[in-house]
A and B are shown apart, each in its own frame.
Chain A
Amino acid sequence: MSRPVRLWVFLVGAVLVAALYAWACFDLPSFGGDHHPYGDRAVRTALAQHTANAVSSVNFDQRAFDTLGEQTILFAAVLGTVVLLRQVRGERRTDPTPAPVADRVRWFGVLMLPVALVVGFYVVAHGPLSPGGGFQGGIVLATALHLLYIAADYRALERIRPVGLYEVGDAVGEAAYVVTGLAAVLAGSAFLANVVPHGTFNTLSSGGTVAVLNIAVGMEVACGIIVLLARFLDQAVEIEETAEETGAR
């Protein structure tokens, strides 16, 4: 299609869709009402399950099957990236050259690395209690390691980042979620049922399997994101097309 035709097709579609959506929005429940059928049920259930963070109760208990799928989407995305960014024919590895880093940046990284790691572990561990959890804390942990890339250089990052080990961690996190679900089946209950004692409300060990699944997700997310970034950094820093392949393009 030529540019103007494409624009017209797009504009006609966009205007009609916008009109439809605006029309639909007038039929939404009005703002600030007190009718929240699912929210009320979910919070009641969360309290009954001794899970202080109702969002975590929904994620890892009431709708834990959704979270299995969501965690697997991340797992699949990381695996897909690993497969697509593999070193293919006509590519070779080169050693990256270290780049000079300003002293202040170096100090900032050295100071922040332990702080960021502690925050990450805290956010993961307190998932059943306070806002946060495996997804959020996992991201903090994964990015914390990359402070080394900024503060020192790529080789320092590589020393503390054996990618193979993190790939295994990624898979173990995924498997742990599934196995926790299957363990409930073996215990005679439903898949992903919260069969573990629920503990004392608002303590780290409360929530039963919420705490277990939350840590499984934290492990998967942290390791998965590290692997993901490693693949992209590999492509950017280490892998080069060989001369004849470049010429062929």
Chain B
Amino acid sequence: MAAGELLPLVVAVPLLGSAVLVAAGRRLTRIAADALGAAFAAGTVALCVFALIGVLEGPAVAWAGGWRPKDGLGVGIALVGDPLGVGLAALASVVTVAAFVYSWRYLEEPPPRHAGGFPALLLLFQAGMCGFTLTGDLFNAFVFFELMSVVAYALTGYRVEEPRPLQGALAFGIVNSLGGYCMLLGIALLYARTGELGMAQIGRALGTGEPDALVLAAFVLVMTGLLIKAAAVPFHFWLPDAHAVAPTPVCMVLSGVMVELGVYGAARVYWTVFAGPGGVSHSSCTRTLLVIGVATAVLGAAMCWQQRHLKRLLAFSTIGHVGLFLIGVAVLTPEGVSGTALYVLGHAGAKAALFACVGILLARYGSVDEYELYGRGRELRLVGVLFGVGALALAGVPPFGTGLGKAVAEEAAGQQAPWLPAVFVLVSAVTGGAVLRAGLRVFGGAGPRPPAEKADGEPETSGAEEEPETGDRLGRVPGTMLAVPVALLAGALAVGVLPGFAAAVGAAGDHFADHTGYLGTVLGSGSALSHVSASPHWTAAGVVLDLVSTALAIGCAALAVWRPGRTGHPGASGWWTPIRRMQSGHIGDYVAWALAGVALLAVLTVPGMLL
């Protein structure tokens, strides 16, 4: 089978799997339902890998329903398998399989006759993510965007017997639905202008003429939807609330892949739809994404450092890294894209592994509070080692994929502005340092014992007295729950060291950032790659900066744990408190910020475009 023909199957197989699970779910035991779900998910991984091997030579296109355009005009939907899109579908599928294996012995026994529900939802999530990465049609991208959103709301609120998961899922649902509406409104504007819904077709129509207010509004609205999904500042508030309460296997997928798909979508839509002369100029797009990216990175890292609730800590570190990914794609070069892609791959492994470790703590001690868990993790030596390795990987220690991706993205960003690499170093150091600090306290019992009770007026939840998601507290940690973080970290390592891997990602970046090449591939007018950049590789400067951020992370963590005379937390008195209080949990606040964010995007994009 040609690679193109495999693309629709990547979406169809998990969909079929979820339908089978729902139909048979009432008769299946939990083990049978989980095994069936995992088999469908793993089968999709295999399809992704076969498709990926096929498209490494060059992108493949599949027209759903066989509606190939005639003379460049058509009525159908294209699935476009470029190496980066198929690669992300593969990543989403692999992390879904990891979530399946992890939840094997993890989640509480489902009520009788409901064993199929959770695995079916996970498969639908996988199908939504794969469809979103593979589609070459803007409206179709919106459909899959909504599919993954709807499933994610339900999965986030899975532990419905407690109030907090419901609140987190509600905030997630409302803010992301708002993003969906914005995106749909933007698509409607583009359709009104061009009469097309395909990304390549709209890109072709915007390839001539001058940009006007309609194009600006469409760009701002579509980007809003995608940046809300990516949890970029000031659209980020939903993410910590949702990630703190979602079941751990779901967090692995949310933080490891789904949020990053927002960044992918923003970059994809810009390169295919808006990169022509009638679209949005490179400088306008770079300015917008760069400002948002730097704000996201700095705020995420700073908030990450303040947390003691381990899941919230990891959630804010994801925001910090999303900021870095946005900076990587904002420079609008193939090098920036491939660096970010490597970074995303490494980050997915490290972050999902860290969530897996926190899940073990939650299952065993019924708490995710850094202070309350002080020293209690000493008995879990292997988990402690994994947690520490994950923290260092997050800080970008060579030779992990995060380090390679960070080095390549940072060099590409340095071409844009010489101070940008400093943002990469600081943000990865602070987020890695925060995780390391928590690891030293929980697994090493390092430093003085922090006060377990909450300081007066401390704005956030501490994570003490959580309900274990396993139903009862675990005595012995099941092998599957240990194997998953080991495999994920090995994957993050492989991204950095596997020979030929970085070169393949580099070629993927070239294809991704090739506006005319994409249009040519989809519309059938030839597709010679217009620009071949040097393969990403380890450089001396990159390794040095990675080591600097790792050393800084270790330094931060050591200082926080051992600094004499400092036992506790900044508490309520720190200068940072007003910003911490912005994360209020009040959905009205989040909506107000989102709307202000739309306006901010417009204000950032408009100079040099219309004014």
- Interface residues, chain A, CB within 8 Å of chain B? 1, 6-7, 9-10, 12-14, 16-17, 20-21, 23-29, 35-39, 41-42, 45, 58, 61-66, 68-70, 72-73, 75-77, 79-90, 164, 167-168, 170-172, 174-175, 178-179, 181-182, 185, 189-194
Q: How many A-B residue pairs have CB under 8 A?
A: 234
Report which of A12, A39, A86 forms a contact with B596, defined as CB distance below 8 A: A12
Q: B75 to A62, Cβ gap below 8 A?
A: yes
Report which of A1, A23, A66, A79 forms a contact with B139, defined as CB distance below 8 A: A66
- Bound complex: CA of A52 vs CA of B588, how far in Å? 47
Q: Give the 9 A-B residue pairs with the shortest CB-CB distance, closest first.
A: A80-B154, A37-B195, A24-B217, A13-B595, A16-B599, A191-B8, A190-B66, A65-B64, A69-B143
- Interface residues, chain B, CB within 8 Å of chain A? 5, 8-9, 11-12, 15-16, 18-20, 22-23, 25-26, 62-67, 73-77, 79, 110-111, 113-114, 117-118, 120-121, 124, 127-128, 131, 137, 139-140, 143-144, 146-147, 150-151, 153-155, 157-158, 160-161, 185, 189, 191-197, 212-214, 216-218, 220, 582, 584, 586, 588-589, 591-599, 602-603
Residues of chain A with a CB closer than 8 A to B74's CB: 41
Residues of chain B with a CB closer than 8 A to A37's CB: 73, 194-196
Q: B62 to A72, Cβ gap below 8 A?
A: no
Chain B: minimal CB distance from A75 (Å): 7
Report which of A23, A58, A164, A191 forms a contact with B62, defined as CB distance below 8 A: A191
Q: B16 to A179, Cβ gap below 8 A?
A: yes
Residues of chain B with a CB closer than 8 A to A181's CB: 8, 12
Q: A62 to B597, Cβ gap below 8 A?
A: no
- Bound complex: CA of A10 vs CA of B595, how far in Å? 6
Max count, chain B CB within 10 A of own CB: residue among A25, A81, A84, A164: A84
Residues of chain B with a CB closer than 8 A to A90's CB: 161
Residues of chain A with a CB closer than 8 A to B8's CB: 65, 181, 185, 190-192
Known contacts A13-B595, A171-B20, A174-B15; A191 and B214 CB within 8 A of each other: no
Q: A45 to B75, Cβ gap below 8 A?
A: yes
Q: B160 to A86, Cβ gap below 8 A?
A: yes
Q: A27 to B114, Cβ gap below 8 A?
A: no
Q: B111 to A87, Cβ gap below 8 A?
A: yes
Max count, chain A CB within 10 A of own CB: residue among B12, B114, B192: B12
Q: B212 to A13, Cβ gap below 8 A?
A: no
- Bound complex: CA of A239 vs CA of B22, how far in Å? 23
- Bound complex: CA of A86 vs CA of B150, how far in Å? 18
Known contacts A65-B140, A83-B121, A174-B19; A29 and B192 CB within 8 A of each other: yes
Residues of chain A with a CB closer than 8 A to B111's CB: 86-88
Chain B residue at minimum C-beta to C-beta distance from A165: B26
Known contacts A12-B599, A20-B213; A191 and B157 CB within 8 A of each other: no
Chain B: minimal CB distance from A50 (Å): 15
Q: B216 to A20, Cβ gap below 8 A?
A: yes
